[in-house]
Amino acid sequence: MKKIVFLLFIAVAASCGKPAPAQNDTAQSPEKLYDRMQKDIAKGWNTWDTRSVLTHVLLPYGAAIDLNVVDKAGKRANVFLIGERREDAPILRPGAHTYDGYYTDIAAEWHGLKFRVQSAADEWKNVIIITPLAGNAAGGHVVVAPKNLWHCYNRIHTSANKFSIHSIDTVVKLQGVVNGDFIGEKNKEIILSADKPVTITCGVSLSPDEAQAFVQSHADAFVETNKEKFGDHYEVYNAMQNVLSWDNIFDPTVRKVMTPVSRIWNVGWSFTPEMGGFVLFCWDTYFASIMLSVGSKELAYANAVEITRGVTEEGFVPNFYTNHYKSRDRSQPPVGSMAVWHIYQKYKEKWFLELLYDKLLSWNRWWDKARRADGLLCWGSTPFEPSMYCYWELMDVNNTQGGAYESGLDNSHMYDDVPFDNVRHIQKLNDAGLSGLYVMDCDILAKIAAELGRTKEADELRRRGDQYRKNLADLWDDSLGFYYNRHIDTKTLNRRISPTNFYPMLAQAPTQAQAERMVNEHLLNPDEFWGEWVIPTTPRNDPAFHDNAYWRGRIWAPLNFLVYMGLRNYDLPEARKALAGKSKDLLLKSWMSDGYVFENYSAVTGTGDDVGSSDKFYHWGALLSFIALMEEGYF
């Protein structure tokens, strides 16, 4: 273990330093182009540290201005994570955050201390303003701690209310001043009263009034830019941009910028959060990459590439991927090609396709090899050789629950009491949702293969997709106008359904008439999926709907999104518009009241905070925004 820690130390230290010089793009391999892009975005001041959103870090040097608070009794808060539910955790209300750290805005409350933190950055310049809010308890302290993170090497000096940051390569020489009700300086930390505003200027000499004007100009530019682009949909876009931006980090263990689902998940899965560490979930990260493509090509590329690079030795993209280990028994819904193709349609850079295509193809072939039964696919979980890091994963491998985890719908009612084939390592259930997603994957990968001149593979993918599309007809029940999962042992259809049963529309398997029946008899049916708040993961007439527990009865944005994408394949404009409108209303309900974007929502009240198993700031919740933006033609 000491050797592992030492090697990690060396790798992290090597990530801190002078930016790489620009290179000529000609004759660059896709790998080199991507690595250069990663270096280019890992620059400047931003909230890069996964451990706390109030730590402002200068990349690539790893120098930081860490903000802490101390209450009147002397107790200190030094970790600030949005939506954290642990006892005594600070309460954070996130506001604006640009992708590049140009402007950030967040409010915090802890032990009666109530304050707002705004920042504005241009290259090496960084200005931070901490403002007490109404009701702020008297007697608290603000601690400003200039420091090195991740064993990076910068010369940092503090004296009274001033500090300096000098990089070891001498490129960066920044002077900083902290203005406010100064109390003292101790152990390289500058301490001020929390009763009065605090202004921090670094790399630029400004009076407190000038600093306020500097920050305000950045805030105004943020509002003006987004209002100009999105008009009446300004807040819809802000919700998506802000949750993605606050979740965006730099991980020093792999030296990459990425956007995990939330910082809480990130820290919870890391062995050494103070040194970094991350977790990327499969379909979550692909969805993030699609959303990021609206405002940041580089971050869209980064997330699509990093999760795809997590591909296992067996050739599939795993359920999760960390800097220590990955899930080797199971994958997750195959939406990678959809994400990559949509991003490519916007930016038209072929090297991006070239970089990812082979791994996406191996993943597609793996599904057909490992999860096929009776001409369609089943969710599964395959035994693997464990490592020292994945002991807890062994509890649900090669069983029905492992297959449910692969589906992404961890406790779905659809998989209650479904038997498992532990020889073929699959649930004994042909899944309409997975099979529909897989046909879509074949269709899109065939387009990518054709774009790259891989004609033989394009033909292979078309043939495979057409065969699965044809076989999906076996799951259609004409008496009920819907596709159902099928038990492979009894050959009977399973009547327990979810929004995934609409996924054959992604495969363009149903005819227009069949699609109309699916929508009218099921999606718009208030006894099943329609209502004030939609789409519940369990139909309202199924007993599991009332569980209101995780994937049993609650609303999840990715299912809304995939159903919406299926509707776009048909002439169903009213249903599409209605789903987009209801998705927007659900998102804005919590966003406008408390600034949160939830992991999942109640299908009865439309709230996300009614259960503890809904992360308050989980980026795929913003797919509700993305649906509305797509419907309005912004993507």
CA distance 632 to 635: 8
Q: Is residue 419 part of a domain?
A: yes
Give the other-Cβ count within 10 Å of 367's Cβ: 23
Q: Are the C-beta atoms of residues 605 and 589 closer than 8 Å to each other? A: no
| Domain shared by 57 and 132, yes or no | yes
What tokens were used for 16?
Answer: 């801190």
pLDDT at residue 86 greater than cutoff 50: yes
Residue 272 lies in a domain: no
Cα dihedral sign, 203-204-210-213? negative
pLDDT tens figures, 329-370: 999 999 999 999 999 999 999 999 999 999 999 999 999 999
Determine the Cα–Cα distance for residues 294 and 291; give it in Å rounded to an integer: 6
Q: Tokens 């509707």 belong to which residue?
A: 567
Are residue 217 and residue 308 in the same domain, yes or no?
Answer: no
Half-sphere exposure of 171 (CA within 13 A, CB side): 13
**pLDDT the model gives residue 470:** 98
Amino acid in position 491 = K
Give dist(CA 400, CA 421) in Å, integer.
Answer: 9
Higher pLDDT, 360 or 384: 360
Q: Is the pLDDT of residue 93 over 80?
A: yes
How many whole angstroms separate alpha carbon 377 and alpha carbon 500?
A: 14
- Residue 558 covered by a domain: yes
Note whether residue 295 is domain-resident. Answer: yes
Alpha carbon distance 330, 426 (integer Å): 10
Residue 206 contacts residue 178 (beta carbons within 8 Å): no
E runs forming strands in 169-312? 173-179, 182-186, 189-193, 198-202, 249-251, 256-258, 279-281
Number of domains in the chain: 2
Same domain, 155 and 289: no
User: Which of 537, 559, 582 is the endpoint of a domain?
Assistant: 582
Q: Residue 101: CA atoms inside 13 Å, Cβ hemisphere, count?
A: 27
| For residue 14, pLDDT beyond 50 | no
Mean pLDDT on 104-128: 97
CATH of the domain at 533: 1.50.10.10
The verdict on 197 and 304 lying in the same domain is no
pLDDT of residue 277: 81
In this structure, what token pair is assigned to residue 94?
């996130």
d(CA 535, CA 523): 8
pLDDT band at 266 (very low <50, low <70, confident <90, very high): confident
Closest CA to 251 of 51, 64, 480: 51
**What pLDDT does 9 receive?**
42
User: Is residue 247, in this structure, part of any structural domain at all?
Assistant: no
The more confidently predicted of residues 566 and 391 is 566
Question: Looking at the structure, do residues 209 and 311 belong to the same domain, yes or no?
Answer: no
The contacts of residue 627 (CB under 8 Å, 6+ apart) are 560, 561, 564, 579, 580, 583, 584
Task: Give the chain's mean pLDDT.
Answer: 94
In a shared domain, residues 179 and 287: no
pLDDT above 90 coverage of the chain, percent: 90
Peptide linkage before 91 cis (omega within 30 of 0): no
pLDDT level of residue 12 (50, 70, 90 thresholds): very low
Indicate whether 342 belongs to any domain: yes
142-146, 261-265, 469-473: least confident range: 261-265
Q: Is the pLDDT of residue 99 over 80?
A: yes
Task: Examine the fold and report which residue of 191, 209, 231 is the final residue of a domain before the chain moves on.
Answer: 231
* Cβ-based neighbours of 376, under 8 Å, separated by 6 or more: 430, 431, 435, 468, 471, 472, 474, 475, 486
Which of 257, 236, 262, 333 lies closest to 620, judged by CA? 262
Domain assignment present for 252: no
The pLDDT tens digits of the residues spanning 516-558 come to 999 999 999 999 999 999 999 999 999 999 999 999 999 999 9
Kindly report the three-state secondary structure assignment for every residue of 342-383.
HHHHHHCCHHHHHHHHHHHHHHHHHHHHHCEECCEECCECCC
Same domain? 212 vs 341:
no
Q: Are residues 263 and 276 in contact, defined by beta-carbon separation less than 8 angstroms?
A: no
Q: How far apart are the first and last CA of the chain?
A: 48
Shared domain for 288 and 374, answered yes or no, is yes
pLDDT band at 323 (very low <50, low <70, confident <90, very high): confident
**pLDDT band per the 50, 70, 90 thresholds, residue 27:** low
Q: How far apart are CA 196 and CA 211, in angstroms?
A: 15
Confidence (pLDDT) at 16: 73
CA distance to 13, 264, 500, 528, per residue, from 631 (Å): 46, 31, 21, 24
Helix 573-594 vs helix 557-567: crossing angle, to nearest 10: 160
Do 15 and 152 share a structural domain?
yes
pLDDT of res. 268: 75
User: Which CATH number belongs to the domain containing residue 47 in this structure?
Assistant: 2.70.98.110
According to DSSP, residue 74 is labeled: S
With contact defined as beta carbons under 8 Å apart, do 141 and 128 qualify? no
How far is Cα 194 from Cα 136, in angstroms, rounded to an integer? 9
Domain identity same for 179 and 286: no
CB-based contact 164:190 (threshold 8 Å): no
Higher-pLDDT residue of 322, 67: 67
Last residue of a domain, one of 539, 557, 582: 582
pLDDT higher than threshold 50 for residue 123:
yes
pTM: 0.95
Cβ distance 413 to 544 under 8 Å? yes
Query: Among 168-182, 228-242, 274-288, 292-306, which stretch is predicted with the lowest mean pLDDT?
Result: 274-288
Q: How distant, in Å, are the alpha carbons of 285, 538, 545 from that of 480?
A: 35, 18, 21
Q: Is residue 218 domain-shared with residue 293, that is, in the same domain? A: no
Residue 392 has pLDDT above 70, yes or no: no
97 lies in which domain range? 2-231
**How far is residue 610's CA from residue 207's CA, in Å, rounded to a whole number?**
45
8 Å CB contact between 387 and 442: no
In whole angstroms, give the CA distance from residue 37 to residue 304: 13
Helix (H, G, I), strand (E, B) or coil at 95: strand
Of 385, 393, 370, which is closest to residue 322 (Cα–Cα)? Answer: 393
Q: What is the CA radius of gyration of the chain?
A: 25
- pLDDT at 635 > cutoff 90: no
pLDDT of 3 above 50: no
| Mutual angle of helices 282-292 and 557-567, in 10-degree steps | 60
Residue 19 one-letter amino acid: P
Q: Give the residue, 385 or 503, on which the prediction is more confident.
A: 503
23 pLDDT above the threshold of 60: no
**Residue at 625 is within a domain:** no
298 with 224, same domain: the answer is no
